[in-house]
Amino acid sequence: MSVDIIDPANLVYAKPALMNDAEMHYCPGCSHGVVHKLIAEVIDETGLGNKTVAIAPVGCAVFAYNYLDVDWQEAAHGRAPAVATAVKRLNPEKMVFTYQGDGDLAAIGTAETIHAANRGENIAIIFINNGIYGMTGGQMAPTTLIDMKTSTTPNGRNVYENGYPLKITDLLSRLPGVCLATRQSVHTAAAVKKAKRMIGKAFENSMENKGTSIVEIVSTCSSGWKMTPAASNKWMVENMFPVYPMGDLKNI
């Protein structure tokens, strides 16, 4: 005789249907897992499961296909927007999105990102910005903060030698092909709700062929930052948010 642990009438939360039964490889406190859950919820709730094609790049984000049960295409490092362009043009009825980190999107893939957005390709870009190369050893990324220590800037990022942090979402928001450019986070319950709403808006824009949407998620990297998850969240709020403030930069 089987007994339900939870009466269905009392169930307030369940794992999103589109999330696979796969053990997460991400480090404790990493923001990727939360964003995966939000993407799965949005796709499931909008009934886009059979209409979604996602593009996975290189870096910590590369294994997203292990966790989300949608059609995936893997791209070379930085080339996700170019691949997404082809997929969407050949399948205009599909909801097409890329899932990229800052090293992938704002460094190696800067050209692909800017030109896809400038053309107004009808894709959504989910951009995880933790200010560092997380997978490959904690090197400085274009988004690394001034004076932030990394494995390649052990004394902190120096403007004279390394330039300024690249605010790629601000740059993209100025392009006429971009219909949505927003910056969110997932460090609190309220922030998670806002992030989910904007991911939903980006996916809706792709289906309605409104142009390019970019949702930047300012995130933590506990391992790369050499901090506990709690300390990482605090450091993010105190240091990342002033440079990368939350909110919409463009929403048409």
Is pTM beyond 0.75? Reply is yes
- C-alpha 195/C-alpha 237 separation (Å) is 16
Q: What CATH number labels 25-251?
A: 3.40.50.970
Q: What is the pLDDT of residue 5?
A: 63
Q: At residue 159, what is the residue type? A: V
Given a cut of 90, is residue 63 above it in pLDDT?
no
Give the confidence band of 64 by pLDDT, cuts at 50, 70, 90: confident
Give the confidence band of 1 by pLDDT, cuts at 50, 70, 90: very low
Q: What is the pLDDT of residue 4?
A: 58
Ramachandran region, residue 119 (left: φ > 0; alpha: ψ -120 to 50; beta: rest)? alpha
Bridge partners, residue 139, by sequence:
133
Q: Give the largest Cα separation in the chain, rounded.
A: 71
Give the confidence band of 3 by pLDDT, cuts at 50, 70, 90: low
Per-residue model confidence as pLDDT tens digits over 24-59: 888 888 899 899 999 999 999 999 999 999 998 887
Per-residue model confidence as pLDDT tens digits over 129-142: 999 887 777 788 99
